[in-house]
């Protein structure tokens, strides 16, 4: 329990006063007077208690200071961590922005080359890529845009040159398919049939095989080769039953049956 120094002092003072009054009536020398001896003892005990209280306050104060120093160190560490993380985040953002900027510049140069070439002039010389100096993906996309714009003659040239320049591209099977599709859209069914057949022989594991086989059935139908068309469309259903191509093949077979061919 904490000691109240003021109360102790008041009590001691009162005791001194009382004892002092009593002491005035004695005739003993001070060193033998029991009252004075008792007062001296009380004074010593009081001083001892005061020293203990002061020491306890110093210990508590020291503990508080140490606790504050620990908290300060923790806050300083957290501040340094946050500062480091902020620097790292800013560095990653700068790298990301630089990468995006460079990619945008590449795309802009590709688009510029396309606009200055086949897309504006409407011409594509033999052996010329739609995006000269561009990557396989750039040239594939440029050729595909020609298909979407229904410029099939230019698309045929673009895809042919693509297959010559990028025979090992991961887009080669798609390019071969869209070469056949360009001929098919232009109603050049005989050549389209040959191009679709290449997809089956050269890229047998391609995801374009069911579509190429379906279009071979369409080509045979348009060439009035009814039996061959029926065999091809039936093969699509049997070999690739869970595909969109199989569903379309079934619809075409029903159409043939309805037409009596």
Tokens of 230: 């029926």
Per-residue pLDDT of the chain (261 residues; tens, 9 = 90+): 444 555 555 555 555 454 454 444 445 666 677 777 777 788 787 777 777 766 666 667 667 777 777 777 777 777 777 776 777 777 777 777 677 666 666 555 555 555 445 555 567 777 789 998 899 999 999 999 999 999 999 999 999 999 999 999 999 999 999 999 999 999 999 999 999 999 999 999 999 999 999 999 999 999 999 999 999 999 999 999 999 999 999 999 999 999 998
Mind listing the pLDDT tens digit for each residue in 102-139? 666 655 555 555 544 555 556 777 778 999 889 999 99
Spans of all domains in the chain: 75-187, 207-261
pLDDT at 123: 72
pLDDT at 1: 47
Burial call 187-216: b when 16+ CB within 10 Å, e when fewer: ebbebbbebbbbbeeebeebebbbbbbbbb
Quickly list H helices, 24-135. Answer: 34-116, 118-121
pLDDT at 49: 74
Question: Yes or no: is domain 207-261 CATH 3.40.50.2300?
Answer: no
Say how far apart CA 118 and CA 56 lie, in whole Å. Answer: 93
The secondary structure of residue 33, as a DSSP letter, is -
Angle at alpha carbon of residue 252, lines to 246 and 255, rounded to 5°: 150
162 class by beta-carbon count within 10 Å (0-12 exposed, 13-18 middle, 19+ buried): buried
Say how far apart CA 247 and CA 242 lie, in whole Å. Answer: 8
Say how far apart CA 256 and CA 113 lie, in whole Å. Answer: 46
Say how far apart CA 175 and CA 199 lie, in whole Å. Answer: 9
Say how far apart CA 169 and CA 145 lie, in whole Å. Answer: 18
Contact 189, 208 (CB under 8 A): no
Residues 6+ apart with CB under 8 A from 76: none
Quickly list H helices, 117-208. Answer: 118-121, 136-148, 152-165, 172-185, 189-202
Helix-strand-coil percent breakdown of the chain, rounded to 5? 80, 0, 20
């Amino acid at each position: 329990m904490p000691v109240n120094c003021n109360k102790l002092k008041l009590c001691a003072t009162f005791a001194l006063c009382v004892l002092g009054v009593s002491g005035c009536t004695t005739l003993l020398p001070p060193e033998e007077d029991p009252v004075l001896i008792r007062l001296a003892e009380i004074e010593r005990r009081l001083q001892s208690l005061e020293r203990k209280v002061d020491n306890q306050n110093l210990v508590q104060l020291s503990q508080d200071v140490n606790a504050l120093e620990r908290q300060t160190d923790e806050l300083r560490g957290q501040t340094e961590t946050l500062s480091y993380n902020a620097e790292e985040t800013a560095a990653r953002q700068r790298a990301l922005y630089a990468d995006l900027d460079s990619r945008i510049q590449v795309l802009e140069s590709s688009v510029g080359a396309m606009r200055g070439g086949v897309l504006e002039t409407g011409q594509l010389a033999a052996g010329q890529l739609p995006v000269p100096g561009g990557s396989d993906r750039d040239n594939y996309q440029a050729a595909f845009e020609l298909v979407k714009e229904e410029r099939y003659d230019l698309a045929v040239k673009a895809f042919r040159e693509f297959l010559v320049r990028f025979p090992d591209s991961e887009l080669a099977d798609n390019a071969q398919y869209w070469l056949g599709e360009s001929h098919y859209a232009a109603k050049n069914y005989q050549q389209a049939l040959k191009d679709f057949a290449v997809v089956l022989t050269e890229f047998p594991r391609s995801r374009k095989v069911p579509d190429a086989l379906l279009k071979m059935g369409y080509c045979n139908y348009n060439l009035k080769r009814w039996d061959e068309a029926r065999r091809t469309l039936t093969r699509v259903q049997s070999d690739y039953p869970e595909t969109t191509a199989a569903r379309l093949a079934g619809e075409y077979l029903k159409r043939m049956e309805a037409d009596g061919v």
